[in-house]
Amino acid sequence: MTKAAVVILAGTEGHANLGRLVNGLEAAKEFADTEGDEVELIFDGAGTQWIPELEDEDSDYHELYQAVCDDASACDYCSGAFGVEEAVDDAGIVTLDDHDGHPSIRSLVDDDYEIITF
């Protein structure tokens, strides 16, 4: 059994960031599809900006996102800082504020999660 936390930090600007997002979603899906594995998908920093785009059914990556969004959460502070707080709430994505308004990476490490950032 593997426990992984996939953290999307890449913003929405540029082709390279799109590649990071897609690779992160694919990694999360691979863990989600593997029996016995646990995965947490966390949108943090500028990565929170992807949520409204991925919620759009016309997005090329909507279906991939839908395959893993049940395991998704977002940084509470960053959702507000990047202006997507309402979209995150509308999407039903849980926000994390364990450490000064941000997700606690330390607690994930303490729970034996491998942290993978994109």
Helices (H), the chain: 15-33, 50-55, 62-68, 76-81, 85-90, 105-110
CATH number, domain with residue 109: 3.40.1260
Give the per-residue pLDDT at 56: 97
For the chain, the straight-line distance linking the first and the last C-alpha, in angstroms and rounded, comes to 22
Q: Which residues contact residue 59 at a Cβ distance below 8 angstroms, ignoring those fewer than 6 apart?
A: 53, 65
H or E segment and range at residue 74: strand 72-75
Give the per-residue pLDDT at 91: 97
Q: How many domains is the chain partitioned into structurally?
A: 1
Give the per-residue pLDDT at 112: 98
- Tell me the C-alpha distance between 68 and 33, whole Å: 9
Q: Are 51 and 93 in contact (CB under 8 A)?
A: yes
Give the per-residue pLDDT at 97: 98
- Tell me the C-alpha distance between 21 and 64, whole Å: 11
* pTM score, whole prediction: 0.97
Give the per-residue pLDDT at 11: 98
- Domain of residue 48, residue span: 3-117
Q: Are 11 and 118 in contact (CB under 8 A)?
A: no
The vertex-106 CA angle with 115 and 9, nearest 5°, equals: 45
Give the per-residue pLDDT at 58: 98
Give the per-residue pLDDT at 108: 98
Written as tens digits, the pLDDT of the chain (118 aa) is 999 999 999 999 999 999 999 999 999 999 999 999 999 999 999 999 999 999 999 999 999 999 999 999 999 999 999 999 999 999 999 999 999 999 999 999 999 999 999 9
